[in-house]
Chains A and B, each alone.
Chain A
């Protein structure tokens, strides 16, 4: 009965979203005009007071429905089609659990669950927003939800039972690539960000409906953007690390369409985070901020479409059904098209913001936004180009060379400017003053550049400049703390500093990885010693091992760095019988200055008794900084969020000049 209960809960949640849409729209209907709004504010209209509880109920119902699906997977109830197709009674419980979203139907339910729970959170916790704008926001959120409920209930029902005669004795198992502890938490984290950014979209639509685009609105929207952005950052970082160790190719970013689908909302959300600061502090960039909020979630929806329709092939695409693709496309057209139409109609009524000089904090944030948008455009175009080309009868795939060549230099420029931005004053600053502040970081960058040129003249330009910029920006990003009482520095200033520092750390990792990685591919016989980057790697041979639901060939490798203590590593080639698929489990040893990464391949000739095996060895100096940087960026966001919420709790509308400091902190 669990499946039926889950389905009923889902129908009820759908009904709630319809109710939320209808009640909210009725409340905002222009016929009632200003009367409705004032009634809202005085709390007299009983119809309106019900919108918030309905939104909360919707969130609770769909969350319960999703829990019921997890329950079915934990029980391995094979009479449910989805469980039979994607689970197996012998799987470890963690993967039974993760199996609930390791498939199309389950992941769509998670999607809509995050959407509704985020909406419920807004209904519960949002206190700053004008009442009518809040109702309009909940209407927009309900409208999005309604479409996706319709989608799930009509063509993608996760609770569907198998006909009585067709219940299998055993399930098909989860895609082995997805059977990994990292993956158990990667999709939910990413979805919290990916779908959480829908709140920014709904805020923007709500503000367009009620013509309420101003600093108060921006301050209300900012924590929601921050929250989603933190999860997006963590999700992308975790996904990158997962691809790094699970796919066994030694790379950390593949420009796979689905990776791009998570990167694009992140780029837009990052731009939004900065522009909303200008709106909150200086009341500028109004129309632009609204646009970015629409774009950010549009990118999430386009990403969902790309992944779920199977229009592009990728590791992440599950079962493909053209009916589903068409449905999501229709929703996409409706929501993004609707929001952009509203934007075109309404945004001209948005008041012009305050002005600023070319050398100012605002100007630097505008440049940040422009560059982020350009990068976003490049990634967007590269990801979608195969579809456009296909329409003209060409099969093209766009890969790393395009993305690296075009985004690399712009991203470097962007990061370099990041050193400058937080040092500038709002409204107007003096060029000479600015040059003086940036002198030390600039000198450090130049020094690094010279050092790399002398010590490793063969380094390609992009990683070389990357390293130089990382050093300068790393130092410059700490500047806003200089001359301040550190204990009295607001948390959100700490947050900004840590996030910016994290970007520099990640950039340093990327540059080192791409410039100084050492790779060796050999067919090693047992007992043979291979050298890579100062490591002697002795291949001891292979032995079969058995896991809970897989068998593997495990190699034993004895590694010694210079004259140091030897240690053992065990790379594996696994075979999952249900469904049959080989995967590679690389062995990774993290040392203080990098990672040694070993993967084994095919036996080079199994018929002879030599026992030679392909061994791939990588020494990746400082590669861990990439993910450490990602975590720092997210942590900085977290501190900023706490700082904002605390200040809101105290109920202060921040004044423009707070404690004056040498470097005025970002507000």
Chain B
């Protein structure tokens, strides 16, 4: 009978066990950013052909030339990318070198996109099969990385860079410049 009596208390003990975790979960800081596991890691090796005529392509070697850069993953078919374009231009005017990776795009569409929405890019690599995008740990467009002069990823921004995000991006860029 004694063991049976113990069993009667098992549900209560189980409850207390979960309550402890609930309490801990509640007090967890709210900030839950999904960061790429690649932050602090070197950029994966890649070489991309030019995305359009008259513009250099992009390779991981270009990112190790001593100067931090901003890598913008975008596409001419991506509607949010249009909203982001003015902020990229603003960053370019502020002196941030920007390279683009165009995902699943066509040269003529790209040219039209840049003509309509502005062209802040130094180089544009054509990521035809999305492999480079996925290797960078990016799932969607637009997405932006800041890479320091040694080719190490220092910052990731998921989604559109809004006007309110510009100071953060600038701060991350300056951080990477040090």
Interface residues of A (CB under 8 A from B): 287, 291, 294-295, 298, 305, 309, 311, 320, 322, 325-326, 329, 332-333, 336-337, 340-341, 343-344, 347-348, 384, 387-388, 390-391, 395, 602-608
Contact = CB atoms under 8 A, between A and B. Distances in A.
A347 B9 CA distance: 11
Contact of A384 (B12, B18, B28, B113): B18
Contacts of A305: 22
Interface in B98-114: 106, 109, 112-113
B21 A387 contact: yes
Contacts of A348: 5, 8
Contact of A340 (B15, B23, B112): B15
A606 B77 contact: yes
Contacts of B16: 337
Interface size class of B (residues with CB under 8 A): 20 to 34
Residue among B12, B79, B109 facing the most chain A CB atoms (10 A cut-off):
B12
Contacts of A344: 8-9, 12
A337 B8 contact: no
Contacts of B77: 602-607
A224 B64 CA distance: 71
Nearest to A393: B28
Contacts of A340: 11-12, 15
Nearest to A380: B18
A514 B21 CA distance: 35
Contacts of A605: 76-77, 106, 109
B10 to A, nearest CB: 9
B25 interface: yes
Interface in B64-92: 76-77, 79
Nearest to B18: A384
B19 interface: yes
A309 B11 CA distance: 23
Contacts of B30: 320, 322
A298 B28 CA distance: 24
Interface string B23-41: 1111110101000000000
Given A344-B8, A606-B79, A391 B25 contact: yes
Given A329-B23, A390-B25, 9 more contacts: A287-B8, A291-B11, A322-B26, A340-B12, A344-B9, A387-B21, A604-B77, A605-B106, A607-B76
Interface of B: 5, 8-9, 11-12, 15-16, 18-19, 21-28, 30, 32, 76-77, 79, 106, 109, 112-113
B131 to A, nearest CB: 19
Nearest to B113: A607
Given A337-B16, A343-B8, A348-B5, A329 B26 contact: yes
Given A343-B8, A387-B21, A388-B21, A336 B109 contact: no
A450 B22 CA distance: 48
A305 B15 CA distance: 14
A384 B15 CA distance: 12
A311 B113 contact: no
A347 B15 CA distance: 18
A505 to B, nearest CB: 35
13 contacts: A311-B26, A322-B27, A329-B22, A329-B26, A333-B15, A337-B16, A337-B19, A343-B8, A343-B11, A348-B8, A384-B18, A388-B21, A607-B113
A347 B12 contact: no
Contacts of A387: 21-22, 25
Given A343-B8, A607-B113, A325 B21 contact: no
A608 B109 contact: yes
A602 B81 CA distance: 14
The 7 A-B residue pairs whose C-beta atoms are closest, nearest first, are A340-B12, A391-B24, A387-B25, A605-B77, A325-B26, A344-B8, A311-B25
Contacts of B79: 602, 606
Residue among B5, B23, B24, B25 facing the most chain A CB atoms (10 A cut-off):
B25
Contact of B21 (A291, A332, A337, A391): A391
B12 A341 contact: yes
A494 to B, nearest CB: 36
